[in-house]
Structure 1
Amino acid sequence: MAALNVSALLFDYLSLQICLIFSVSFLIVYRLLTRQKQVKLPPGPPCLPLVGNIHKLGGKQIHAVTANMSAKYGGIMNINLAGKKAVLLTDLHIIREAFLDKTDRFSDRSNSRFGEYINGYRGSLIFENGNGWKSHRRTTLRALRNFGMGKRSLENQINEEGRCLARSFEQENGRPFNPQATVQNAVANVICSISFGNRYDYDDPEFRRLLDYIKGFMKKLAGPSLVAVFPRLWFTPLYKSLRKQNDEMRTFLQEVVEQHKDTFDVNDIRDIIDVHLQNNDEEGGTAEQKLPQALIWRGLFDLFAAGTDTTSNTILWGILLLTQYPHVQEKMQQEIDDVIGRERPPTLPDRLHLPYVDATLMEIQRFRPVACFVPPRAASVDTEIRGYKIAKGTQVWANLYAVLHSPEHWSDPDEFIPERFLSADGKKTEAPDAFIPFGAGRRICIGEQLARMELFLFLTNLLQRFTLKIPQEDPKPNLAGYHGLTLSPDRFRICAVTR
């Protein structure tokens, strides 16, 4: 009888334990299910501890790898960047929804401690947020759109630099050479001319130091760099030389601003620095709407660093692609000969009468967009896209390469076909909505018009004078390129044969 009582008590005890375990398990599962229902996150690849999804993002081909991932996970993905959650957009319609329809929620930049360590964000044309950024951007855009007349016009300055670039090519006498440094010199000089009213000889030591800094900056901080994940590494010996170059460039730009303050004349606006000094002198407007003179250098830093790398790489891609598609180069040269000839320099109005040239320039930007990703935005409030919850502060990346190579918008997207941008009669160019090499929304690239002018005037100047070829002894170039901070071509050599 006692044994039965013990058995009954043991049975009751075990039953109670089972009920408790079942109840707790039920509550946990219910909580997880209801929580998932309440917070619907975008799909994404599984991640590893510490590194997240970085190991899956493709390194130097991150633009293509993440574009291909959208076939499995869709046009909006949840990714983990070394423990930091981010959202990646690869679909045109979703990008437009975020950056155009919901621009007030996705116009802020996502900034990091690393950026604060380097140069801070106040005064930045690319990374600052708030009303100060809006005013600074408007002032700089006004300067770029309406800058100067006569000899100081942007068109004349770019054409002057284009002639210098052509002379540099001519000095090679048809021998093989790498055009990278010369193209970077020319593009950087345009930025120097409009920013602080001065151009440099290509072998000027000060100018060389500026360009060496840009090269080092882009190389060492390319891709998911270690210092971006662990910002305090910036203060270690690993980055000592880059810190020194960064300090030298900041000091140089600050000194240029001080020199402009000493020689400023409201009746003789020479460059972008003078435009900001003039804006500060004008009556009216709040202090927030005027960029402090001590921060003018910060916007110049952005123009110089970003404008030099992106535009020079676009031109280099143009040169390389024309060597690989000689029939395209021949058609461009014939159109240039018919409309402009080989003597007078090209002008911006000529572009309207050069539809094939214009279409080819657009195809260069579509085929190999140098800005495959826009700098990351951040959700300014808790919001949603396509039913997925995006928490305030979440990084939002957009893969422009994915849009520009999407079969949904382009036939044979991996083929180089300038005619895709021509009207049926071939007399004008037509750009579809999916042509967004400069981004979209309030944060669209501030240098878009300048970059388009440089690409047209530089390449037209070169094609008037030269036929561009790859040396016979060199291997066929790799057209995939590699993604650092921008999409760059691998090193290559050309022969510039005088026409």
Structure 2
Amino acid sequence: MASPNVSALFFDYISLQSFLIFGMSFLIIYHLFTREKPVKLPPGPPCLPLIGNVHRLLGGRQRHIVMAKMSDKFGGIMNINVFGKRVVLLTDLQLIREAFLDKTDRFSDRVQSQFGEYIWGFKGSLVFGNGKGWKYHRRTTLRALRNFGMGKRSLENKINEEARYLARSFEDESGRPFNPQPSVQNAVSNVICSISFGNRYEYDDPEFRSLLDYIKMFMSKLAVPSIVSKIPKLWVTPFYKSLKKQTDECISFLRGVVEHHKATFDSNDIRDIIDVHLQDNDDECGAEEKLPRSLIWRGIFDLFAAGTDTTSNAILWAMLVLTQYPHVQEKAQQEIDDLIGRERPPSLPDRLHLPYVDATLMEIQRFRPVGCFVPPRAASVDTELRGYTILKGTPVWVNLYAVLHSPKHWKDPEEFIPERFLSADGKRTETPEAFIPFGLGSRICIGEQLARMELFLFMTNLLQRFTFEFPKEDPKPNLAGELGITLSPGRFRICAVNR
């Protein structure tokens, strides 16, 4: 038997050892140069497998309060895990200002979920669109809002007219307890309709009523975080199939309105926002920016849904809160009586001379903000914020409720005190830095000025004519509210007593 070649075995061993050493060295060096740079993530609660921190966010209709209390422990910037997805939550005012004002170019994108794309799509959206097309669309819509009276006497007259219809519906109740929500929603929506569609609808119009019922259901039932956005198979469950069907009916209605406008379009007679977009569609603009006529309905949907729900809820909150603070209601009515009387309709210039009324409405927006959370944004690049790294694509949530109820900015924040917005002599309103009910930065609510107009004119009209009382036979009202996409006071009854 031949003896083994010791020399060959030695060199084979050396070669294998060298190969392993070289291979390991290569892998170590490759890992060192290609691994993600260590980042300092914001603090946050520990996670459970699969669901992350979702169990902490299931605060029922009080998620805004639950998440505000979490910031007491983890700070004004937190890292939260939602079904394996990292989310950053901001509750500190200066951090929000830094992100949305100083670094607005890095935090101006919207989060776009599969579920949102499935239900209503994002192309043409004023709220959820991104990129040059969204910027151009927003500018065009803002210009149209201004052209059709936002902040002007022409729109003031339309709001006052709608306020008269609303007052008439209240008078029909003869001081008996009733649910004001349908009439308020009709009135507010008609203001949006007059700007967007060029006409108003009767309160009992079945198609209009169906559309408003959809908006209410949609805004109250859906909220972040939604498990269905993470598990697409749940989209076929009865509730979401019904939601999709109702959404398609809503879209069909809006498309029908746009088609009618196309058929009757006259470039020399621009009637409303739809006509502005039809006209703009024919103007020269970059290919990326041009909004196809087939998508005009999408931006109108955003205006209609957001404008109807937010302002309606603000007015409903105002009426409900004033029943619980009759001394505030009485003082506001006295100021209105002294300046305007009970016959002349209010005008926008009156607001400067009604500081207590204005302060009361500001306090209502702070006390029960309709938009507790701004629609989530996303970091467009890796960004540092207060020493922490926000990775590209990370959703950023902002809890406005936490800012508007922070003891750092407000004395006795859980108390309803209109005087906090008045100057020392009580002759003018003052706006604290922390009063941001419409958000901040490039994504600030496009309808802010319109909403302020409506809230002032509707409530001043109503306080001229009625004193709001809570029915004695009804249980104590729930001032905590119910959080869906917006914070609503829920269903309640009220008595509108003629003055």
Partner SS state of residue 290, structure 1: coil
For residues 124 and 196 of structure 1, the distance between their equivalents in structure 2, rounded to whole angstroms, comes to: 17
Partner SS state of residue 289, structure 1: coil
Shift of 1:151: 11
For residues 435 and 330 of structure 1, the distance between their equivalents in structure 2, rounded to whole angstroms, comes to: 25
**Does 2:449 correspond to 1:456?**
no
Aligned to 1:125: 126
Of the structure 1 ranges 83-92 and 227-236, higher mean CA displacement relative to structure 2 is found in 227-236
For residues 116 and 281 of structure 1, the distance between their equivalents in structure 2, rounded to whole angstroms, comes to: 27
Shift of 1:226: 3.1
Aligned to 2:315: 315
1:57-77 per-residue CA deviation (whole Å, 9 max, x = no partner) reads 222111111111111100000
For residues 447 and 147 of structure 2, the distance between their equivalents in structure 1, rounded to whole angstroms, comes to: 13
Aligned to 2:20: none
Q: C-alpha root-mean-square deviation of aligned residues, in Å?
A: 2.0
For residues 305 and 262 of structure 2, the distance between their equivalents in structure 1, rounded to whole angstroms, comes to: 23
Task: Give 1:78-477 correspondences, 5 Å limit.
Answer: 78-147=79-148, 153-282=154-283, 284-477=284-477
The one-letter amino acid of 1:122's match is K
The one-letter amino acid of 1:362's match is M
For residues 364 and 149 of structure 2, the distance between their equivalents in structure 1, rounded to whole angstroms, comes to: 29
Aligned to 2:484: 484
For residues 424 and 254 of structure 2, the distance between their equivalents in structure 1, rounded to whole angstroms, comes to: 49
For residues 229 and 191 of structure 1, the distance between their equivalents in structure 2, rounded to whole angstroms, comes to: 33
1:281-324 per-residue CA deviation (whole Å, 9 max, x = no partner) reads 33x33233332111100001111111111111111110011101
The one-letter amino acid of 2:163's match is G
Shift of 1:150: 13
Change (3 A) 1:414 1:37: farther
Structure 2 length-normalised TM: 0.90
Task: Give 1:21-100 correspondences, 5 Å limit.
Answer: 38-57=38-57, 58-100=59-101
Does the 8 A contact of 1:123 with 1:299 survive in 2?
Answer: yes
Q: What are the ranges of 5 or more consecutive residues in structure 1 without an aligned counterpart?
A: 1-27
The one-letter amino acid of 1:359's match is A
Partner SS state of residue 441, structure 2: coil
1:225-265 per-residue CA deviation (whole Å, 9 max, x = no partner) reads 33223234224433222211111111111111111111112
Shift of 1:409: 0.8
Does the 8 A contact of 1:150 with 1:156 survive in 2?
Answer: no
Does the 8 A contact of 1:114 with 1:232 survive in 2?
Answer: no
Partner SS state of residue 439, structure 1: coil
Shift of 1:481: 0.8
Shift of 1:118: 1.2
Partner SS state of residue 369, structure 1: coil
The one-letter amino acid of 1:304's match is F
Of the structure 1 ranges 323-332 and 147-156, higher mean CA displacement relative to structure 2 is found in 147-156
Shift of 1:149: 10
Change (3 A) 1:219 1:366: closer
Aligned to 1:19: none
For residues 116 and 176 of structure 1, the distance between their equivalents in structure 2, rounded to whole angstroms, comes to: 42
Shift of 1:148: 5.0
For residues 395 and 149 of structure 1, the distance between their equivalents in structure 2, rounded to whole angstroms, comes to: 32
Aligned to 1:20: none
Does the 8 A contact of 1:192 with 1:304 survive in 2?
Answer: yes
Change (3 A) 1:36 1:63: farther
The one-letter amino acid of 2:406's match is S
The one-letter amino acid of 1:190's match is V
Q: What are the ranges of 5 or more consecutive residues in structure 2 without an aligned counterpart?
A: 1-27
Partner SS state of residue 85, structure 1: strand
Partner SS state of residue 78, structure 1: strand
For residues 420 and 219 of structure 1, the distance between their equivalents in structure 2, rounded to whole angstroms, comes to: 31
The one-letter amino acid of 2:240's match is Y
Partner SS state of residue 288, structure 1: coil
Partner SS state of residue 126, structure 1: coil
Of the structure 1 ranges 210-219 and 310-319, higher mean CA displacement relative to structure 2 is found in 210-219
For residues 220 and 335 of structure 1, the distance between their equivalents in structure 2, rounded to whole angstroms, comes to: 39
For residues 304 and 235 of structure 1, the distance between their equivalents in structure 2, rounded to whole angstroms, comes to: 27
Partner SS state of residue 287, structure 1: coil
Partner SS state of residue 104, structure 2: coil
Change (3 A) 1:41 1:218: same
The one-letter amino acid of 1:276's match is H
Q: Percent identity, aligned pairs only?
A: 79
Partner SS state of residue 79, structure 2: strand
Shift of 1:224: 2.9
Does the 8 A contact of 1:79 with 1:85 survive in 2?
Answer: yes
Change (3 A) 1:238 1:480: closer
For residues 317 and 246 of structure 2, the distance between their equivalents in structure 1, rounded to whole angstroms, comes to: 28
Partner SS state of residue 223, structure 2: coil
Does the 8 A contact of 2:376 with 2:396 survive in 1?
Answer: yes
Change (3 A) 1:191 1:68: same
- Runs of 4+ displaced beyond 4 Å: 148-152
Structure 1 length-normalised TM: 0.90
Change (3 A) 1:38 1:457: same
Does the 8 A contact of 1:59 with 1:223 survive in 2?
Answer: no
Partner SS state of residue 174, structure 1: coil
Does the 8 A contact of 2:203 with 2:209 survive in 1?
Answer: yes
Aligned to 1:24: none
Does the 8 A contact of 2:90 with 2:96 survive in 1?
Answer: yes
